[in-house]
Amino acid sequence: MKIISYNVNGIRAAIKKGFLEWLVDESPDIICLQETKANKEQLDLDLFKQAGYGYNYWFSAQKKGYSGVAVLCKKEPKHIEYGTGIESMDFEGRNIRVDYDDISVMSLYLPSGTNSDRLSFKYEYMDLFLDYITELKKSVPNLVITGDFNICRTEIDIHNPKTNKNTSGFLPEERAWLATFIDSGFVDSLRHINKEPHVYSWWSYRANARNNNKGWRIDYQMVNGHMIEQIENAGVLPQAKHSDHCPTVLEIKTK
């Protein structure tokens, strides 16, 4: 199974930049989207069907034009879980999951900490999310969590670790939480395959950052640890330029 995850920074804007043509060429079995910034009523869903994704599921924020996640599938899942059931998490449309017999895939958009209020919300969300996932794995063990975590894991995942040590996304508390999340039983699939530095998934629009590859790796495909032997390949797709992020890709054996 080929799974792509992509923070599109607005699905309608991405479509205008050739997203659907790119999607047809890449042809993943599942693509998880973050920061869709649209309700499905604002989209022409036939376009996704024509691209091969007749099974598409959207979970939007209550605030229009903000946040939002989606999952587009070639094959119909047996169950779709919209949100987490935790009201303080779900009003911003940040989690959606599809379940198949042998794998479950979640699209996650973790909040950013752009100011003190949002950072406090992010910390609360992180704690609630970890508790939620710890419980969820008991009933949904074959779990892959894809998406924008808005946290760089280590110094090799950011181009300027020293100058960003006090910036949200690379704060010690955020990195410690991500380490705890992984230690709870997940594999960072890209680092399972590739230990090299300068592999990024987000670049600022400023200072020609993308062309100079001065980026951050904040997008992940986390695989439940007992599935580690099923990971065949994982990486990023920087040639896709419909957003300030690039997609991540995971190829995983299913039974």
Regarding the domain delimited by 2-252, which CATH topology (the fold level of the hierarchy) does it fall under? Answer: Deoxyribonuclease I; Chain A (3.60.10)
3-state secondary structure of 80: strand
Q: Residue 255 pLDDT > 90, yes or no?
A: no
Q: Distance between CA atoms of 70 and 64, rounded to whole angstroms?
A: 15
* Per-residue pLDDT, 213: 96
Active site residues: 148
* Per-residue pLDDT, 85: 97
Domain parsing of the chain, residue ranges: 2-252
Q: Distance between CA atoms of 75 and 1, rounded to whole angstroms?
A: 11
CB count in 10 Å sphere of residue 25 = 9
pTM, full prediction: 0.98
- pLDDT tens track for 149-197: 999 999 999 999 999 999 999 999 999 999 999 999 999 999 999 999 9
Q: Tell me, what DSSP letter sits at residue 183? A: H
Strand positions, DSSP E, the chain: 2-7, 30-34, 55-59, 69-73, 79-82, 95-99, 104-109, 143-148, 186-188, 202-203, 215-216, 219-224, 231-236, 248-252
* Per-residue pLDDT, 59: 98
Whether 221 contacts 234, CB under 8 Å = yes
Largest Cα–Cα separation, the chain: 47
Average pLDDT (101-118) is 95
% of the chain surpassing 70 pLDDT: 100
* Per-residue pLDDT, 192: 98
* Per-residue pLDDT, 53: 98
* Per-residue pLDDT, 62: 95
Average pLDDT (113-139) is 96
Q: Residue 214 pLDDT > 90, yes or no?
A: yes
3-state secondary structure of 202: strand
% of the chain surpassing 90 pLDDT: 98
Q: Residue 231 pLDDT > 90, yes or no?
A: yes
**Helices within the chain (DSSP H only):** 11-16, 19-26, 45-50, 87-90, 116-139, 172-183, 189-193
Q: Tell me, what DSSP letter sits at residue 90? A: H
Q: Distance between CA atoms of 14 and 146, rounded to whole angstroms?
A: 19
